[in-house]
Amino acid sequence: SDGDRVPALVIGSGYGGAVAALRLTQAGIPTQIVEMGRSWDTPGSDGQIFCGMLNPDERSFWLADRTDAPVSNFIGFNINRDIDRYVGVLDSERFSGIRVYQGRGVGGGSLVNGGMAVTPKRDYFEEILPSVDPNAMYNTYFPRANAGLGVNHIDQDWFESTPWYKFARTGRTTAERSGFTTTFVPNVYDFEYMKKEEAGEVQASGLGGEVIYGNNAGKKSLDKTYLAQAAATGKLTITALHQVTGVAPASGAGYDVTMEQIDERGNVIATKVVTADQVFFAAGSVGTSKLLVSMKAQGHLPNLSSQVGEGWGNNGNIMFGRANHMWHPTGSKQATIPSMGIDNWSDPAAPVFAEIAPLPAGLETYVSLYLAITKNPERARFQFDSGTGKVDLSWAVSQNQVGIDMTKKVFDKINRREATIYRTDLFGVYKRWGDDFTYHPLGGCVLNEATDNYGRLSEYPGLYVVDGSLVPGNVGVNPFVTITALAERNMDQIISTDLA
């Protein structure tokens, strides 16, 4: 509450925040997490915590009057619908050139994401983060992250036989016939649970059309893993529905953290200041960058590095669909959890890692949907606008053209081989590419540039960055394993040298 003093305060409860909270509490340090979203632990009137993708209600989107689904259209119809404004679990935050999807709630992105748990290619990791010892990462911190997150692998015999992964097998067949390599992708969704869903023994979630608005079962989101372990120490407090708006040096030691308490309709009902000895920024690439850029510009943390706000990228995300022939169905049954990718990353002409994504519409669509991660080198910056008092992101839609060009090199070839075409009805009317949004915001407070080599904001002892803003714009695979492993590495160093 207002006027409290705490040893450690963590802003946000996604991957970076959950790792920080676990390692701090295990070191015996009482820790408070402040999270703007709600705690997703209480069912609604339908008995479920989350709503499904085919019947979104107010729980789907963060303070919005209408849903804003990534696949917005289908054969000429916009499938979005009006909803009541509520602190829903998925935010599509709009900047002038891009919408950034993010999870809102205790668990952050882990509540809404596809659970794909991919360790990056070592040579690319070394290229993007040359200051980080790769042996420590690949021998210690990536294994630690995978264990902590509960990563598991699909039973390949089951994959080959179940109707629920027909879409992935079709995507594989068409890719391999054009000479591309596919690979199984590990996940934090419990694939053994999914088998029981198929057998009708448990509540369906991954086989029940649930993912981007939350999974009611099956998924090991952070509230079930890192955060549960941190809570078990007895040293963790989680304050939900509180949005941090400011951090500044306190008059004595430590930092004053200003926060607004909101109700479930988003109304501000109280403003509080808590003083903390250490503050860990874990509000995600966008949340942390916005806070730090505005604190620097408004003179609350004026000495922050000029690199704060720089180096933001969209991990090269491009979403798109191909229309298969009728002899290549993708299935009326589709698991919501992806399990396979097309790996063309090592081709310098078309560096693409494309997830074969489900489109669980409940009917046969013949669509192969993909989320491509491309080696798009374009970057943008966060800037404070003194007129509006808000932080903008300089990204322009045109910066995704290079990602589209890489994607086309792979999928034009598949289309030629299969005599198929791209769908033009999924992202608007006659719009082929989902190129105006990202699931993978990265950067804005890059490691060893805006911070020191362990995420310290060195100009302000006791301030640390621990989330996806440390990753320089692109990691070549889905990012949460990297974010988790880097947080593990940095917390190890911070706890043993700064907090011992």
Question: How many other CB atoms are there within 10 angstroms of residue 392's CB atom?
Answer: 17
Query: One symbol per residue from 265 to 294: x for binding ligand FAD (CB under 6 A), - otherwise; what is it?
Result: -----------------xxxx-x---x---
* Binder of ligand FAD out of 51, 83, 116, 342 (CB under 6 A): 116
CB contact at 8 A, 474 and 135: no
Query: Which residues from 423-462 bind ligand FAD, rule CB under 6 A?
Result: 439-440
DSSP notation for 146-177: HHHHT-B---HHHHHH-GGGHHHHHHHHHHHH
Place of tokens 């939350």: 214
Question: In angstroms, how far is CA 190 from the centroid of its own chain?
Answer: 19
Grouping H, G, I as helix, E, B as strand and the rest as coil, residue 245 is strand
Tell me the per-residue interface mask from 91 to 110 with ligand FAD, x by CB under 6 A, - otherwise: ----------xxxx---xx-
Residues in region 21-50 near ligand FAD by CB under 6 A? 34-37
Question: Minimum Å distance from CB 396 to ligand FAD?
Answer: 21
- Exactly one of 35, 93, 355, 378 is catalytic; which is it? 355
Give the span between the Cα atoms of 267 and 286, in whole angstroms.
22
Provide the strand spans (E) within 224-267.
236-239, 242-249, 255-262
Query: For residues 159 and 366, which CB has a smaller minimum distance to ligand FAD in the complex?
Result: 159
Annotate each residue in 479-498 with x if it binds ligand FAD (CB under 6 A) or - if it does not, as one string.
xx--x---------------
Is position 15 an interface residue for ligand FAD (rule: CB under 6 A)? Answer: yes
- Given candidates 52, 88, 114, 476, which one binds ligand FAD under the rule CB under 6 A? 114
Residue 290 vs residues 35, 179, 494: alpha-carbon distances, Å? 15, 43, 24
C-beta of 259: minimal distance to ligand FAD in Å? 7
Q: Which 8-state DSSP code applies to residue 120? A: P
Answer yes or no: 355 catalytic. Answer: yes
Q: Which of 10, 83, 175, 212 binds ligand FAD (CB under 6 A)?
A: 212
184 touches 191 (CB < 8 A): no
Pairing of β 317-323 and β 90-94: unpaired
468 touches ligand FAD (CB under 6 A): yes
Pairing mode, if any, of strands 5-11 and 77-78? unpaired
Rounded least distance, CB 421 to ligand FAD, Å:
26
The residues that are catalytic are 355, 440
Q: Write out the residues near ligand FAD by the rule CB under 6 A.
A: 11-16, 34-37, 101-104, 108-109, 112-116, 212, 243-244, 282-285, 287, 291, 439-440, 467-468, 478-480, 483
